[in-house]
Amino acid sequence: MEKAIVLAASAIGAGLAAIAGIGPGIGEGFAVGKACEAIGRQPESSGAVTRTMFIGCAVAESTGIYGLVIALILLFANPFLGKL
Amino acid sequence: MGFKLGSEEVVVNGPKVAFKVFGLNVTETVILSWVVMAVIIGLVLFMTHNMSKDNPSKKQVVAEWIVETVNGMVRDSMGSKNLVYAPYMATIFSFSIFGSLISVLGLRPVTGDFSTTLAWALITFFMIQYAKIKNDGILGYFVGFSKPIALLTPINIISELATPVSMSIRHFGNVASGIVITQLLYFALTGLSHAVGLSVFPVFTIGIPAVLSVYFDLFTGFMQAFIFTMLTMANVGAAYPEEEQH
């Protein structure tokens, strides 16, 4: 019974951790939109803009990846099951 | 670890332990890293074999192009004084690309193991600290943490320590999520084939996972290698004083 509760709560927690994807989604969309604007204004600088945009996207993505790692830990390496 | 999906069990494993040496686990990752290293060294030796100045062969032109590109990237983001870092960046880049791309051959990507990316991130971390100490002196290095005001010291230390953590987790997370999602899709497609009565020949698992593989193996592999290298260059380069533009 206890195990079932822990497993259910972990599954819900893993699902909630996926909410962390919202922030990077908005942020990356914003960054890419701005990059498109910049390329539209100055097509000759598209190489540098794209490179910078990808790095910015990668940095913005890290919070989402933290959420993913928490979800993966809850699903595949659950630390709470050992405490029962 | 795994869980049941109908009659099939979905299993997503960490790297398997191949054998033990003095109580240390030698995992799949370690062995595949050796293979990747051997492939890279072999490729480099092959491409730089029989080089000539007057009559360059095709492989020499490719090798020169790679060196020129990496040197250019390092010069752009770190300044021409720091060209000494270029070989390290090329190493990390090629190791990361080959380490991720072996998943195309059905092997477990080396970068899908947190140990690998953490090791690279730690090298970068110590490289940053070395560059800072070299430029500011040991005293200036410690004083640098209390800038702009002393109140921010703990936050500066945390942000310094967060660099390797975020770099390693970013690379690992991207590759590992690819492994997990591909595995889940594979099992879902097998289940679908069972549901329509094609359990002998799971027809849906042909072709459809390949589309995801293009994104997760090729695109993510290249992207993460590029991003890891660029972030290393940016972080180490930031430790050096600005170069005057000519």
Whether residue A55 and residue B170 make contact (CB cut-off 8 A), yes or no, is: no
- Residues of A whose CB is below 8 A from B172: 69
Instruction: Say whether B22 sits in a helix, a strand or coil.
Output: coil
Closest CA to B47 of B35, B63, B36, B67: B63
Choose the mutation target among A73, A76, A78, A80 for the interface with B, i.e. most B CBs under 10 Å. Answer: A76
Task: Check pLDDT > 70 for residue A79.
Answer: yes
Count how many Cα atoms sit within 13 Å of the Cα of residue B62 in the half-sphere of its side chain: 9
From the list A51, A59, A66, the residue facing B169 with the nearest CB is A66
Closest CA to B229 of B141, B170, B178, B161: B170
Q: What is the pTM of this model?
A: 0.82
Whether residue A54 and residue B231 make contact (CB cut-off 8 A), yes or no, is: no
Q: Please state, in angstroms and rounded to a whole number, the distance separating the CA atoms of residues B84 and B74.
A: 9
Place of tokens 């702009």: B148
Contact A22, A68 (CB under 8 A): no
Q: Please state, in angstroms and rounded to a whole number, the distance separating the CA atoms of residues A80 and A84.
A: 7
Whether residue B173 and residue A68 make contact (CB cut-off 8 A), yes or no, is: yes
Q: Which residues contact B103 (CB under 8 A, 6 or more apart)?
A: B109, B112, B175, B178, B179, B213, B216, B217, B221
Give the pLDDT band of residue B121 (cuts 50, 70, 90).
very high
Amino acid at B98: F
Instruction: Say whether B3 sits in a helix, a strand or coil.
Output: strand
The domain locations on chain B are 2-238
The chain B residue lying nearest A72, using CA atoms, is B177
Instruction: Kindly provide the ipTM of the predicted complex, given to two decimals.
Output: 0.74
**By CB neighbour count within 10 A (0-12 exposed, 13-18 middle, 19+ buried), where does B174 fall?**
buried
From the list B1, B176, B227, the residue facing A54 with the nearest CB is B227
pLDDT tens digits, one per residue of B179-221: 888 888 888 887 787 777 776 676 777 777 778 778 878 888 8
Whether residue A72 and residue B174 make contact (CB cut-off 8 A), yes or no, is: no
Mean pLDDT of chain A: 88
Mean pLDDT of chain B: 83
Give how far A51 is from chain B: nearest CA, Å: 9
Q: Please state, in angstroms and rounded to a whole number, the distance separating the CA atoms of residues B245 and B35.
A: 43
